Amino acid sequence: MLEKDIENLVSQYPDEFLPQKNLKLVGQQVKLETYFADILFEDKRKEKTIIEVKRGILTRDAIPQIMDYYGILKIKNPESKINLIIVANVIPKERVVFLSERIGIKFVEIPISRLIAVAKKHSYSFLDEEKSKTTEEYRHKTQILNRVESTQGSNVWIFQSNPKRFDILNALDELDEDVWGVRRYKEKIKAGDIGIIWMSGKDGGIYAIADIITNPDFLRESEKVAKFWFSEDDKNEVKLRVRLKYRVKLKNNPIFREEVKNIPQLKELSILKQSQGTNFPVTENEWDYISNLVKERI
């Protein structure tokens, strides 16, 4: 799911995400001098609503952008009321309280599950899924299916990410390799094992499958990875980590926690019984069921 997909869905179906506002679309990527506002709406009272869209966790750069848009429109239309809304998948409260109370910017958190549900309801196809069915792509998909199916004696581990600390949604889109912390089972996790990438929170569940390509070691993440942390305190620390190579990404169709919980064979999955932590073991039988779920989505 691209950021453009979120913009398209909010633009085309505003009542799904902003009910009772009676918004009429003025345009997407509306030019305001040297800027482009993601979405511009107008209501029955001719009040303008500017919406800035951010995929993943809300970043600091969205806030000055939308305030600049407000200034440009207000200078041109001094008597008009202009509403400001920032949309993101994850919005940390500590980032928005002051801006909401003192400045009047509204923040709307739209979970991935809600976007997927609206897309299905209106038969909307995500832009990153519109690919030609070439022989090469078919061969690649077949290879992925075969690799998912067989662990070849490897152990399987869940690696959990907190989306309010690390922008996992954008990281998955941009990175082919990553490093993940090892806090438990450091004597058991090893190169050749399989990692299940689990996002915590409202849309908790399985978002990717990865190959563990190094044994645990004290590593510093690259700047390419570090930029996805919410807090500066989490960046550039040397920690016990493993290096992962993503094998399958389920950004548009993750296996949500609620689905996992409703499968009897997965009711004892370690992360469901105790969700606090980073590393969780997965049994061979549990992996059999999880890998089948993954294969149905790719």
Helix 135-149, helix 284-295: angle, nearest 10: 160
Residue 36's Cα: distance from chain center in Å? 23
For residues 44 and 120, state if they share a domain: yes
pLDDT of residue 91: 84
Query: What secondary structure does DSSP assign to 144-176, as a single string?
Result: HHHHHH--TT--EEEEEE-TTTB-HHHHHHH-S
pLDDT of residue 98: 59
Q: CATH number of the domain at 232, please.
A: 3.10.590.10
pLDDT of residue 99: 61
The pTM of the full predicted model, rounded to 2 decimals, is 0.82
For residues 80 and 163, state if they share a domain: no
For residues 85 and 180, state if they share a domain: no
Summarize pLDDT for 65-81 with one digit per residue, the tens. Answer: 777 877 887 787 787 78
For residues 94 and 167, state if they share a domain: no
For residues 12 and 143, state if they share a domain: no
Q: Are 276 and 198 in contact (CB under 8 A)?
A: no
Answer with the one of 71, 104, 127 that is the final residue of a domain: 127
Taking alpha carbons only, the member of 280, 255, 278 closest to residue 270 is: 280
For residues 121 and 154, state if they share a domain: no
pLDDT of residue 295: 86
For residues 156 and 287, state if they share a domain: yes
pLDDT of residue 95: 64
Answer with the one of 96, 127, 158 that is the final residue of a domain: 127
**Ranges of the chain whose pLDDT falls below 50:** 132-135, 138
For residues 206 and 274, state if they share a domain: yes
Q: CATH number of the domain at 23, please.
A: 3.40.1350.10
pLDDT of residue 20: 80
Taking alpha carbons only, the member of 219, 44, 15, 25 closest to residue 121 is: 15
For residues 192 and 66, state if they share a domain: no
Task: Give the CA distances from residue 241 to residues 5, 66, 167, 237, in Å, rounded to whole numbers and listed in that order.
Answer: 33, 38, 18, 11
Task: Please give the tally of structural domains in the chain.
Answer: 2
pLDDT of residue 132: 42
Domain residues for the domain of 209 are 135-295
For residues 158 and 279, state if they share a domain: yes
Answer with the one of 127, 160, 186 that is the final residue of a domain: 127
